[in-house]
A and B are shown apart, each in its own frame.
Chain A
Amino acid sequence: MSHAAKAPNRSTEQRPIEDCRADFPVLAQTINGEPLVYLDSAASSQAPGVVIDAVAEYQRHDHANVHRGVHTLSHRATDLYESARDAVQEFIGAGRRTEIVFTRGTTESINLVAQSFCRPTLGAGDRILITHLEHHSNIVPWQIVCEQTGAELVIVPIDSSGQVDPQELIEKMDDRVRIVAIAHVSNALGSILPLTEIIQAAHDRDIPVLVDGAQAVPHLAVDVQALDVDFYAFSGHKMFAPTGIGILYAKETHLEAMPPYQGGGDMILEVRFEGTTYNELPYKFEAGTPNISGAIGLGAAARYLASMGLERIAAHENRLLAYLTRRLAAINGIRLIGTASNKASVQSFLLDDIHPHDIGTILDHQGVAIRTGHHCAMPVMDFFGIPGTARASLALYNNEEDIDRLIAALAKTQEIFA
């Protein structure tokens, strides 16, 4: 009974993007008496019915531990779990299923690389290259490994639009740099980094590249082989899957060379008190009973996104982002933060001298959900000399009406604060 493993059917493929809003049950509710406008998908996205059902069906009919049992349920659970891995492999265009490691999310994926790939070989004088626009999850794991090894964290600046100049980044790739770790899309600013150019330049110098793809995967087509990226990390809950599940894609040669990150069940072949033989890839990095239902949900979400078509989703969101930016820019007293020419799905802003937290509170009263604060990117806020921003973020289920509601709610906010 392989509910989650259904191939996307043709009729789904033909559906207009605008129709998919109805696939997300959470959106059909009112907040404070107003229909919900959800513009906080960059913090966490909503799940479509197919994801919710895949998880529920698994819990209802197929649950058992994976890779262990001789009985039917365990086989079913294992098949579903491994078929989710296949769905993710296909989703990001990975060459081998063994290169897809299930983790708790982007944060754990990056910590895994920092500790297992970098730490054993890093020493004093070595460098790790990141940019000024990174999420804390792509800063702190490197600070920790620098502390442990004496390596140094080098920060590539951003410009006033919130973009990284790839030339500036490439100039910093000297022979002491051991890894480049950069976002694909900035969570606070929306800037899309020119990955191809950066990865090519890094590889010319034999430097591996990790990409934090958390904000990219729900919005644009990612092909890890075409990018030739060494490590690509992302989270389920930013791409319409449950929380607590994520992915580390890594080239097989790297995974082979890396020691296990955590020890426990499932990651071993043989355990003797004299020593333990580790399991093959990717299980070497999946210690303990994994988040089986989360993985199944993630597999279903990957299939759902693929069935809608990432190119079509990107086109829809780009249209919406242009509309959002245009409407926001027309407001008297607005300051847009993050104005790079190549952007995805988010717009940060400030309004008059109203604190972002106050904006968020008044918007919530009108049923409009946005994020306010530093967005776990405090260096970005420091760069712009602000404590935080209000941020509206889009996903495939948003439409122009959502943006109109946001603009009207902001007008009311200004009225209240006038």
Chain B
Amino acid sequence: MNEVEKAQQEVIEEFSFFDNWMDRYQYLIDLGRRLPDLSASERSEVNKIRGCQSQVWMVAEYDGERLNFRAISDAAIVSGLIAILLRIYSGKKPADIVATPANFVSALQLEQHLSPTRSNGLAAMLQAIERYASDALPVK
């Protein structure tokens, strides 16, 4: 099990403790509220991932070994979901990111938020993470 798979598994287990949707959302909102904000200059047009209903800003840094992501949204639930994405993908090796399918989306019943056809910026963020990772891989 690589680091991304491990982080994903932990998140899935953590969410299995909630047996109703309200608790799940309260937890997400809590995660969202505790998510460190980006600086005003980082909340820029360049870093913005466009969505029709909520906005997401993301910064990616590659230290040669690992990809680090920071991101925030103007909506609390979306920020909570970002916190989950960051836990799974930030600080991980590009090869692990690329090799690991995003199983948590269906396991956490997050299709509503994370399916590629949703215009809330989150799905676009997930795609951006995957793109950064594959770009960071050595060209074959």
Q: Which residues of A come within 8 Å of B, CB atoms?
A: 32, 354-358, 360-362, 364-365, 372-374, 387-388, 412, 416-417
Does B21 lie at the interface of the complex (its beta carbon under 8 Å from any beta carbon of A)?
A: yes
Interface size on B, residues (CB 8 A): 17
Whether B77 contacts A361 by the Cβ 8 Å rule is yes
Q: How far is the CA of A88 from the CA of B22 in the complex (A)?
A: 47
Q: Which of A354, A357, A362 contacts B78 (CB 8 A)?
A: A357
10 A-B pairs with the lowest CB-CB distances in the bound complex, closest first: A355-B75, A357-B54, A357-B75, A373-B53, A357-B53, A358-B77, A358-B75, A358-B76, A365-B21, A361-B77
A357:B120 contact, CB within 8 angstroms: yes
What's the Cα separation between A354 and B78 when bound, in Å?
12
Annotate B34-76 by CB proximity to A: 1 below 8 A, 0 otherwise: 0000000000000000001111000000000000000000111
Give the docked Cα–Cα distance between A374 and B74 (Å). 14
Query: Is A357 within 8 A of B25, CB to CB?
Result: no
Docked Cα-Cα span, A417 to B22, in Å, equals 10
B126 within 8 A of A: no
CA distance A360 to B76 in the complex (A): 12
Contacts of A388 in B (CB 8 A): 53
Interface secondary structure of A, over-half rule? helix
**Most chain A beta-carbon neighbours within 10 Å: one of B25, B53, B76:** B53
Q: What residues of chain A lie closer than 8 Å to B113, measured between beta carbons?
A: 361
Could you list 8 A-B pairs, sorted by A, with CB under 8 Å? Answer: A355-B75, A357-B75, A357-B78, A358-B77, A361-B112, A416-B22, A417-B29, A417-B76
Closest Cβ–Cβ distance, residue A317 to chain B (whole Å): 26
Interface contact A372-B53, CB-CB below 8 Å = yes
Does B2 touch A at the CB level, under 8 Å? no
A32 to B21 Cα, complex, angstroms: 10
Known contacts A358-B78, A412-B22, A417-B29; 13 further A-B pairs (Cβ under 8 A): A355-B76, A355-B78, A357-B54, A358-B75, A358-B76, A358-B77, A361-B25, A361-B77, A373-B52, A373-B53, A387-B74, A416-B25, A417-B76
Shortest CB-to-CB span from B88 to chain A, Å, is 21
A29 to B116, CA, bound (A): 26
